[in-house]
Amino acid sequence: MAQSLISSLTPFKGGNENFDFFIKQFIEIARLEKWGEAKKILVLKLNLKDEALKFLVSNPKFEEIDNFDSLVKKLEEKFCKKPNFEEAQRQFNNLKQKVSQSISDLAEQVSSTTDKFSNPNNSEEENIINLTEKLKLSKFIEALRPDIRVEVKKLGPKNFKSAVAIAKNIDNALSDDGAEINVTDSGINQILSQEYE
């Protein structure tokens, strides 16, 4: 029998750790491995340590929970501190690509931080969604490393998704030969057309 992907997941300890990140990874593993409800609950409990485990065992009613989503909700209530507006704004304003951070990781970070900042209630109102998407685009470009940012700005992407695709291609080109990049509009259009085929 193949080894489960769960062995690659760091157990959740509570405290200052990111529960959202942990549970997204957990749910993805459960989906890929097609776990049933009971297995998800058991494996989740087995992957709680320290403060999170103490919280679980301190309340005997949690033993009776037979719904995975209910258990996750209880853990979220305890360990997911919804950032207040000022904290969300601070995180948004301080977004910058770290030295070894991939374009994909930066895009995910920009996307989630922007959502928390500009659409914390997950509104489906068209104006809020459009504003959030425009903020993602401008913040993503602003957060890129300077060498990539300059090239992305030259090409003027119209939306977040195309900016990410362009940045990935530029990053790949820069890392392939370590040389300066000279990308033409037609070259990028060709790359993008291949990307979306």
Cite the DSSP H helix spans in 49-125: 50-58, 61-64, 68-79, 85-93, 103-118
Lowest mean pLDDT among 4-8, 36-40, 105-109, 174-178: 174-178
Please, what is the average pLDDT of the chain?
A: 82
Lowest mean pLDDT among 5-19, 76-90, 126-140: 76-90
Lookup result for tokens 């995180």: 91
Residue 182 has pLDDT above 60, yes or no: no
Lookup result for tokens 């996307």: 111
Residue 2 has pLDDT above 60, yes or no: no
- Report which of 6, 11, 21, 23 is spatially closest to residue 75, judged by C-alpha positions: 23
Angle formed at CA 44 by CA 39 and CA 47, multiple of 5 degrees: 130
Question: What pLDDT, on a 0 to 100 scale, did the predictor assign at position 15?
Answer: 75
Task: List, for residues 34-43, the tens digit of each pLDDT value.
Answer: 999 989 988 9
Question: What pLDDT, on a 0 to 100 scale, did the predictor assign at position 174?
Answer: 85
Question: What pLDDT, on a 0 to 100 scale, did the predictor assign at position 193?
Answer: 60
Pick the CATH number of 85-177 from 3.40.50, 1.10.3470, 1.20.1740, 1.10.1200: 1.10.1200
Lookup result for tokens 């998704």: 161
Percent of the chain residues topping a pLDDT of 90: 29
Question: What pLDDT, on a 0 to 100 scale, did the predictor assign at position 184?
Answer: 54
Encoded tokens for 137: 């685009």
More confident residue, 47 or 83: 47
The mean per-residue pLDDT over the stretch 49-69 comes to: 86
Identify the band that residue 125 occupies on the pLDDT scale cut at 50, 70 and 90.
Answer: confident
Identify the band that residue 179 occupies on the pLDDT scale cut at 50, 70 and 90.
Answer: very low
Question: What pLDDT, on a 0 to 100 scale, did the predictor assign at position 160?
Answer: 93
Per-domain residue ranges for the chain? 5-79, 85-177
Distance separating alpha carbons of residues 197 and 182, to the nearest angstrom: 24
More confident residue, 189 or 144: 144
